[in-house]
Amino acid sequence: MDEQPEYNIEQIVDTLRKELLDTALVENFEIMIEHKIRYLSYANCDNSLLFPNQEVDSAVYMGGYALNELNSNDFRLESRKPGFATILCKEKIDAMIHFMNDPANFFYGECGTQIPEAHILFFSQGKQVARVVFACGHSQISYEPETPMTNFGGLSDIGGNKLDQIKPWK
């Protein structure tokens, strides 16, 4: 089985330390930023603390969900059928895992109501171990298991550009 991808945690911590120099950001999110720095110091010794908390050997992107015709107010993906599914190659799996563990990909503001439109299911030995749900034109995500690296789930401009480069939907 392939190993979990390596992370440049020191580079991520440096990015977070730069955020501590932004007085407007620190005014509202200093505790959150410091928590991420501490969390990463632990993760530097134990990669299992990073999303998805364990090795992943396969993943599938499912998208093109139509609204539930019986209940148009039910936005849960579980109540709708996907239009297509794409199996992700190892490079895209690793890229998405790196993406989820880099706080530079996410901004600190709230996104509003999420209407899911696609998701990636991550597997280890045939068992689903993680999930990333995309909404609002892939500009907002939610995820399981929880990770403090993604702020509130809204993509920053950097994150939007990186996701467009990864293209998990292709």
pLDDT tens, position by position, 20-63 = 888 888 888 888 888 888 888 877 777 777 889 889 999 999 98
Residue 90 lies in a domain: yes
Residue range of the domain that includes 71: 50-166
Q: Is the whole model's pTM more than 0.85, yes or no?
A: no
pLDDT in tens, the chain (170 residues): 344 455 677 888 888 888 888 888 888 888 888 888 888 887 777 777 788 988 999 999 998 776 655 556 666 666 667 788 899 999 999 999 989 988 889 887 666 667 788 899 999 999 999 999 988 888 888 888 988 888 878 899 999 999 999 999 88
- Are 61 and 85 a contacting pair, CB within 8 Å? yes
Is 30 inside any structural domain? no
* Contacts of residue 156, Cβ cutoff 8 Å, sequence gap at least 6: 104, 105, 106, 107
Q: Is residue 22 part of a domain?
A: no
Please check whether residue 28 lies inside any domain of the structure.
no
Whether residue 153 lies inside any domain: the answer is yes
Helices 157-166, 90-100: axis angle to 10 degrees equals 170
Q: Is residue 38 part of a domain?
A: no
Model pLDDT, residue 13: 84
| Total tally of structural domains belonging to the chain | 1
